[in-house]
Amino acid sequence: MSTALNDRDAILQASSVRIINPKNASILLNASSSLFHTNAAGDVDVPTITIGATLIGLEGDVTFTAEGAALTSVTGKSAVVRYADMQGPAAIVTARIAAGGQTFSQSSIIAVVRDGAPGNGTPGARGPGQHYAFGDAWSDGVADAATPGGNVINDVVTISNGGRWAMTKRWDGATWQAIGGIFDGSLFVTGSIDGAAIRAGTLDIYAPDGTVILRASKPLAEQVKSAPNLAASFPEWRRYGTAWIHDSSGERATDGFHMVFPRNPGGYNAFEWTIPNVRDGDWVTVSFTASSDNPNGGRLHANLYDGGRLDTAGRRDQVVPYEPKRFTFTEQVVSGASVRVWASTPDVQILVWDLKVSLGKADTPYSNDFISPSNVTRRVMPGSIGNTQIGGDIYSTNWNGGVGPFGTGWLLQRGGTFYCGNVQLRGSIAGGYFTKYEWPVAGQAGFYLGGEGLLMGNYHDGRYTQIGNNGDIYTPNFSSVGREVKVTGEISGSVIRTSVLALESARLLTPWNRLAPFSLFDSGSVYNPRVANATVTLDGFVGPAQGGESTFHAKRFGSFRKDVFLKATMHGDETWENLYIEARYHDASQGWGNLASGSVFCEGRAGISVVIRYTPHDGGWDYIAFRARTTQGKCLSLVFEMQTFNFNESVNAPGSSSGMPTGDSGGGGVGNNPEPWCVDYETTRLPDGRFARDVKINDLMECWDFNLENPGVEYAPANKVAFGEEASSMLVTRTGVQIIQSNSTPMTVRDGRVVLTPGMLGEEVVVKRGNDLVWEPITQTFDMGVRRVVKISLHDRMYFAGMDPKATIATHNLEYKP
Amino acid sequence: MNDAQFLAWLKSSAAYRVVLIEAAVQIGGVESVVYLATKPFTTGPGDAPANTTYPPIATVGRLFTERLLLDGEGGLSTGELEIENVGGARDAWAGPGHVWKNRADRAYIGDVRWPRAEYRQIFDGVAADLVPSGRQALSLKLRDKLQRLNTPISEVKLGGTTEQRDALLPVAMGQAFNVTPLLVNAAILKYQVHAGTIHSIIEVRDNGAPVAFTADLAAGTFQLHAAPAGVVTASVRGAAAGGYVDTAAQLVKRLVTGYGKIADRFTEDDLDRNSFAAFDAAHPQSMGLYSKERLNVLEACRMLLSSLGAQMVMSRLGKLRLVKVALPGIGAPVSIRPEHMVEGTLQPTARTDVVGAVKLGFAKCWTVQDAGTLANLPEVHKALFAEEWLSTTKTDQSTLATYRLNAEPVQVDTMLLTRADADAEAQRRLDLWKVPRTTYEFEGVPELLSLELGQAVTVYSPRFGMDAGVTGIVISLAPDWETGRVTVGFLV
């Protein structure tokens, strides 16, 4: 249900007035100004006045009229009067509306008021003001001259020389008084002070915690430190006992200069230094680095001395052996301050360096903590670098610029490229969009190599390589998973070496998409202890289990017809024996049919042979069995051999062993018959519009490339053209594509079988429509009687022809004809 | 048998197709079923119906043509079945003892070798009549099931002893503005706006002025507090039994399942639920209608659906679907290529008139009142009661100039209630028809038997500028079950 109300009820319900009552109805007018005003010069300060109408107890729009002025921008609720449209000193604007049978109206008067000419009174005295003069020093005379008409109390004069000096004074009625004062810092907005220079030679700037930000007495180099090190160089420190300085060259805190508190001191060992210029109440922070040479470490003390005494208990800490440790303490000065450092463990030598004394409560970084050329000439102490950024490349001292096998050292370029010799990782490496052993989303590529395996490219994009840590390999066209290898496309090579090779493909193709010439053999024999009849049966070649005949072996490689060579050889009595070669087809109930027979004199060895052409039933998987038998009881042994060649689609030319009719009996092939297959003379056209009858030898014709899965077109020359008359039929596909061709024309259909024209109903053929090739079934056939035909041969190709050049059928068959 | 197997069978040259017809008929006052077929067929003991012979006396070509009308008005589809009557063997069927009119007819297709359960339904409708067709045949006139909706919404009368006893009780669906209620009890000033529970009464008026009243929503009535001075009208949100609805799909569903003759009403099983749900989701516009007269259910549905350019169609399985003539059509376009057409059958069949302006009426005033009777109302309100329709016009100046068309088109009335909805619908119609549209027809292969009216298609052909494919909508389907082909009409 919608909550929307229909427009009519919505209008009514939104209305404040549903019924007009004249007693309570009226119009209220309001004007944005009650009058127009002009000054003495005649300029108007209110150029327009808008008059609005408010309806009381009425609904709708009013009509505006005016007397003494013209109206503009008139709407149902307002109108505008412009000063320029006033026709006199006043105008009357009236609004009217009719409702409930009456007319309601209301008027408003707009007037014009004009200022008169200026008066003639005496101007008053000048008040105080801000005045300026030029000069290099203050001069009362210059200041007096700067005030017009004599000085007035609270006049202010500034004398300046153009930016290098200035002074401002106020006139108090008798003298010029300097103006001074303190500016509350909160008055300054951050970033608001902008000047060429501040001249204040004694100005120190402190942070609220006492840290010196800028000290006037220090050289500029000190100012860049957040808290300058006040500590004097080590030789300036007072020494007590046997404490000594490792190097006295005058450096105060760089590596190699140490306070040394030796082993087994004879007495109190200490260094002390009085902090200059320190004020009572200042905070002082002392920090230094120390280490010991004893496995047990040692104890080190440090503290501030105020007026020769310890103001607090000693600050002490354990020094870690062989591992530099940073000490820090902060105290507030009471009455002057000295820094004293001493050791209290007698059998340990303690070194102290990088000592820093700074003002302030915080232990701000000591400048020598930062790496500079002067302090890293020997080494960078472990842990010295917390975080850093490198502005350029870094490389080892032996980097020789070589990236090949002769390169030495390493280079880490700022751009992110790293050259080195060997890399050993505990984890994984990844590039591009990869972060783990997982494909990123489509469109993102890269690689990952880790313990789980290798990923490259992106599976979602179809371009990828995956090698698992179990050895499984996946690529778009190749995979090796477990014990199964899958390849899409061709396998190149000359030898497949295996103990067992199971081929499940229905068609094995050589180049040019021809069937590979496989051969099948079978044989059997019988030995009789005495002369008798013998029968040897061979199951022949059979397809996969079909119906109940699952006991037969799968020996066929395709559903094409076969040429079968059968040979029976017997040995027997020294008389005549009848030898039969027979076949039993799929339907066992049909019994055995004779293929060949003969009467042989079997004193020694004798036999017969036969070649038959066998086409599986209805194109499906089928079987056939063969047997040889004798009938005269003279047989001692009978050997029966079968050999079949899958030559039908091979590169062998017609007339090879399988194509030749042989023997003196049974089912032989058709051999090299003249080519009867042909298309209709009157109606047949080619895709290029020519009539088939106009084709000349060596003319190129569009042919099917015999790609069953993805049909294509190839061109081939006609090698023979002849004419004749034959019984013909019309074939019509599902979409109405038509061709008339001889009944003798064989056609290769979608599953590879070859079918003669009369049997084409329901079979699928290749139809060419424009550039598209599709499979379509033949849905109608019509007997056309004997017609004149064109016999075109392209050897083993099927060419496109039909009654309409826009839609043609691949006709004629491949190399082998039934 | 799944769809793929059925399609393979349709394409197979080895198929022995037979169409079975089961036609309900009243014979001598007893309701019965007559079984016919196009080839001999007898069911087995395990079939339903069991051991039944379907005599091969029927001839079925293009049994039924499904069609979308481009004017959006919708209508009944018709078909015909010829029955052999050689020698007058079935003259009695056309006699007074056999009543075929408005009885269910169903047709199924399958192979003569299949069990009855494997057959697929191809028609579910009703008979208009059975008439002789010459001396040797009878013709069974078929209508789709929409024929069952060709009855009045309500035939319930007020009754009693008043002069209004013969008045039909009104029916209010959705929102209705300014309806004239039925005075059901003058003594207590009681009026009725709907024969049942309603959602609410927005306002009651006396000569256009709102007046006080007390509503009885459960009874669909109200009582005035004072005697009226003039014409009593009301604005209502109507029928609410089962929940108030006011969208086109919901109202149509309510009408076809809850109104009209009880025996002829549709059930939920007669509706294509997916179609209704999708249509309802896409068309949330509020609507309404009001009837005090003999309004037909079919007409009421047409008034609602045509407001959106939609219409009711029956599927082959007898399911009621709501389909709109719009481009693109429903769903992902089905690709139709030359291999799906019988060569040379694709041809243009019609071309639409270009429209440069669309004018729609909306927010119907169900009781138009003379402005002179509406004293003391604001002038702007008087027009709301005096005009039957508010209107909106959308024009395309470029189209008007190009085709030299009239900018003031004939108004088409809708049941839409708001200007926003009417503006949108007018613009939609203008956008659809401001360019010339062409309808084409071709004979399709069995795969296209699965097409449905309103479905989007992309058609490729070397003719008619369809090389790269054009997208259209299926507007007609005429299956030929004997050949497995279907004549497909589409609009681009």
Reported as a single tens digit per residue, the pLDDT across A270-301 is 888 888 777 777 788 888 888 877 766 778 88
Asked whether the predicted pLDDT for residue A302 surpasses 50, the reply is yes
Q: Which pLDDT does position A2 carry in this prediction?
A: 53
Q: From the CB of residue B417, how many other CB atoms can be counted at a distance below 10 Å?
A: 30
Greatest Cα pair distance, chain A, in angstroms, is 172
Distance CA A592, CA A581 (A): 10
The string over B28-54, giving b where at least 16 C-beta atoms fall within 10 Å of a residue's C-beta and e elsewhere, is eeeeebbbbbbeebebeeeeeeeebeb
Whether A356 contacts A341, CB under 8 Å: no
Where would I find the beta strands (DSSP E) of A649-771?
A: 679-680, 700-704, 713-717, 720-733, 738-742, 746-748, 754-756, 764-769
Q: From the CB of residue A452, how many other CB atoms can be counted at a distance below 10 Å?
A: 14
Question: Which of A59-73, A655-669, A784-798 is predicted least confidently?
Answer: A655-669
Q: Which residues contact B433 (CB under 8 A, 6 or more apart)?
A: B352, B353, B354, B355, B358
Residue of B nearest to A6 (CA): B417
Please write down the long-range contacts of A176-181, taking CB distance under 8 Å and 24 or more positions apart. A176/A138, A176/A140, A176/A143
Whether B392 contacts B363, CB under 8 Å: no
Question: Which of A254-258, A433-437, B273-277 is predicted least confidently?
Answer: A254-258
Q: Which pLDDT does position B303 carry in this prediction?
A: 93
Retrieve residue A630's tokens: 């004798």
Q: Which of the four pLDDT bands, split at 50, 70 and 90, describes residue A555?
A: very low
Q: Which pLDDT does position B248 carry in this prediction?
A: 95
Facing residue for B384 by CB, picked from A1, A4, A12: A12
Mark yes or no for CB contact B378/A769 under 8 Å.
no
Mark yes or no for CB contact B376/A736 under 8 Å.
no
Q: Which pLDDT does position A155 carry in this prediction?
A: 92
Whether A817 contacts A669, CB under 8 Å: no
In tens, the pLDDT along A650-672 reads 322 232 222 222 222 222 222 33
Asked whether the predicted pLDDT for residue B327 surpasses 70, the reply is yes
- Give A645's strand partners: A519, A563
Q: Which pLDDT does position A542 carry in this prediction?
A: 40
Amino acid at B60: V
Residue of A nearest to B418 (CA): A7
Facing residue for B377 by CB, picked from A19, A98, A736: A19
* Mean pLDDT for the stretch of residues B417-438: 94
Identify all chain B residues contacting A10, using CB atoms and an 8 Å cutoff: 418
Q: Which pLDDT does position A550 carry in this prediction?
A: 33
Higher pLDDT, A790 or A651: A790
A727 touches chain B (CB under 8 A): no
- In chain B, % helix, strand, coil (3-state, to 5) comes to 20, 40, 40
Whether B59 contacts B84, CB under 8 Å: yes
Amino acid at A92: I
Asked whether the predicted pLDDT for residue A6 surpasses 70, the reply is yes
Amino acid at A812: H
Q: From the CB of residue A249, how many other CB atoms can be counted at a distance below 10 Å?
A: 11
* Mean pLDDT for the stretch of residues A219-224: 49
Distance CA A165, CA A139 (A): 13
Among A517-521, A581-585, A741-745, B397-401, which range has the highest average pLDDT?
A: B397-401
Q: Which pLDDT does position A380 carry in this prediction?
A: 59
How many angstroms separate the CA of residue A98 from the nearest CA in chain B? 8
Read off the DSSP letter of residue B294: -
Mark yes or no for CB contact B363/A735 under 8 Å.
no
Whether A725 contacts A789, CB under 8 Å: yes
Whether B245 contacts B221, CB under 8 Å: no
Mark yes or no for CB contact B288/A736 under 8 Å.
no
A605 touches chain B (CB under 8 A): no
Asked whether the predicted pLDDT for residue A266 surpasses 80, the reply is no
In tens, the pLDDT along B39-57 reads 888 888 888 898 899 988 8
Residue of A nearest to B175 (CA): A6
**DSSP-based three-state secondary structure for B378:** coil
ipTM of the predicted structure?
0.83
Distance CA B218, CA A192 (A): 77
Q: Which pLDDT does position A252 carry in this prediction?
A: 41
Amino acid at A646: N
Whether A395 contacts A412, CB under 8 Å: yes
- Give A94's strand partners: A65, A107
Identify all chain B residues contacting A804, using CB atoms and an 8 Å cutoff: 343
Residue of A nearest to B14 (CA): A762
Distance CA A576, CA A600 (A): 5
In tens, the pLDDT along B179-228 reads 999 999 999 999 999 999 999 999 999 989 899 999 999 999 999 998 88
Whether A739 contacts A804, CB under 8 Å: no
| pTM: predicted TM-score of the whole model, two decimal places | 0.47
Distance CA A248, CA A251 (A): 7
In tens, the pLDDT along B225-265 reads 988 888 999 999 999 999 999 999 999 999 999 998 888 89
Sign of torsion, CA A217 A219 A222 A224? positive
Residue of A nearest to B374 (CA): A100
Retrieve residue A237's tokens: 């420190």
Q: Which pLDDT does position A325 carry in this prediction?
A: 77
Return the closest-CA partner of residue A803 out of A736, A748, A749.
Answer: A736
Q: Which pLDDT does position A449 carry in this prediction?
A: 94
Mark yes or no for CB contact A734/B377 under 8 Å.
no
Q: Which of residues 789-808 of A touch B (CB under 8 A)?
A: 804, 806-807
How many angstroms separate the CA of residue B151 from the nearest CA in chain A? 27
A734 touches chain B (CB under 8 A): yes
Distance CA A206, CA A184 (A): 17
A vs B: CB pairs below 8 A: 123
Angle between helices B248-258 and B297-306 (to 10 degrees): 170
Q: What is the DSSP string of A587-653?
A: -GGG--EEEEEEEEE-SSEEEEEEEEEE--GGGS--B-EEEEEESSS-EEEEEEEEEEE--TTSSSP
Intra-chain end-to-end CA distance of chain A, in Å: 74
In tens, the pLDDT along B164-177 reads 888 889 999 999 99
**DSSP-based three-state secondary structure for A565:** strand
Among A76-90, A114-128, A777-791, which range has the highest average pLDDT?
A: A76-90
Facing residue for B445 by CB, picked from A5, A15, A735: A735
Residue of A nearest to B446 (CA): A734
Return the closest-CA partner of residue B292 out of B192, B378, B383.
Answer: B192
Sign of torsion, CA B416 B421 B422 B426? negative
Whether B156 contacts B262, CB under 8 Å: no
Facing residue for B390 by CB, picked from A7, A736, A776: A7
Please, what is the average pLDDT of chain B? 89
Read off the DSSP letter of residue B186: G
Q: From the CB of residue A330, how many other CB atoms can be counted at a distance below 10 Å?
A: 16
A232 touches chain B (CB under 8 A): no
Mark yes or no for CB contact A60/B378 under 8 Å.
yes
Retrieve residue A448's tokens: 């990952």
- Give B380's strand partners: none
Distance CA A760, CA A406 (A): 74
Facing residue for B286 by CB, picked from A2, A734, A736: A2
Mark yes or no for CB contact B209/A19 under 8 Å.
yes
Whether A800 contacts A783, CB under 8 Å: no
Facing residue for A736 by CB, picked from B177, B344, B390: B344
Identify all chain B residues contacting A59, using CB atoms and an 8 Å cutoff: 378-381
In tens, the pLDDT along A39-50 reads 888 888 888 999
Whether B211 contacts B227, CB under 8 Å: no
φ, ψ dihedrals at A132, nearest 5° = -135, 150
Q: Which pLDDT does position B56 carry in this prediction?
A: 86
Question: Which of A151-165, A325-339, A487-501, A570-584 is predicted least confidently?
Answer: A487-501
Retrieve residue A235's tokens: 């030789």
Residue percentage of chain A with pLDDT more than 90:
15
- Give A564's strand partners: A612, A644
A708 touches chain B (CB under 8 A): no
The upper half-sphere exposure of residue A373, i.e. CA atoms within 13 Å in the direction of its Cβ, equals: 0
Q: Which residues contact B30 (CB under 8 A, 6 or more apart)?
A: none
Higher pLDDT, B377 or B189: B189
Mark yes or no for CB contact B343/A804 under 8 Å.
yes
Please, what is the average pLDDT of chain A? 75
Residue of B nearest to A781 (CA): B13
Cα A286 to Cα A228, A229, A289, distances in angstroms = 12, 9, 11
Residue A674 burial (10 A CB sphere; 0-12, 13-18, 19+): exposed
Mark yes or no for CB contact A8/B362 under 8 Å.
no
Asked whether the predicted pLDDT for residue A414 surpasses 90, the reply is no
Greatest Cα pair distance, chain B, in angstroms, is 83
Residues in chain B: 492
Whether B123 contacts B107, CB under 8 Å: yes
A7 touches chain B (CB under 8 A): yes
Q: Which of the four pLDDT bands, split at 50, 70 and 90, describes residue B76?
A: low
A19 touches chain B (CB under 8 A): yes
Q: Which pLDDT does position A802 carry in this prediction?
A: 93
